Amino acid sequence: MKKIVGFLSFFLISSLAFGQVKLKEKAPLADVKMKNTQGGELSLNDAKKEKGLIVVFSCNTCPFVVGTPDFPGWERQYNELHELATKSNIGFVLVNSNEAKRDVADSFEAMLEHSKEKQYAMPYLVDVNSQLANALKAITTPHIYMFNAEMELVYVGSIDNIWDSKRKSDEPYLKNAIQALGEGKKIKTANTAAKGCSIKRKM
């Protein structure tokens, strides 16, 4: 049984990877309201600012998000990135699509506790049944999607390359993309590999 579940998970992730949303495609489900840890409900269009929106698929427990003794964890950058995006008039939200863990580590109550503990400055939204993650073909936590003022995809992938132990230099992909979008310039590196834990979908 475990082998079958493992195969299905691999098949789903592989299928999503081959079906990646392309740059310049419009954000799907942009008007769907999602429960927000800051109160009420919020859609992508609600969260969008004048120059666009950043969507970060995240969760409460993935080592790539929260960190380990050997890896700092990307959530340490969330508030800084949110501040940078805000200054550039770009919206910024976290989305939790781990539907298979909704009754435990990624329940809304756990999200409230985690966002309070980590002092998240941005909305943290519940993606019921992984609808948004499926529509965007998101694979990992974290997985970054940045949209322009027309809600067209202009950057997708990783926050940076610190996961790569063989890197020759640090590449702050998302920071660079935020700066470029804010200044109305072309994003030089618009598509990078997403690294992290798999989004826990219900089979």
Residue 201: phi and psi, rounded to 5, are -85, 155
pLDDT of residue 19: 58
* pLDDT less than 50: residues of the chain: 1-18
DSSP symbol at 26: B
> Which pLDDT score is estimated for 20?
75
* CA-based nearest residue to 54, from 84, 11, 12: 84
Q: Name the CATH architecture for the domain at 2-198.
A: 3-Layer(aba) Sandwich (3.40)
What's the pLDDT at 16?
A: 46
All structural domains of the chain with their residue ranges: 2-198
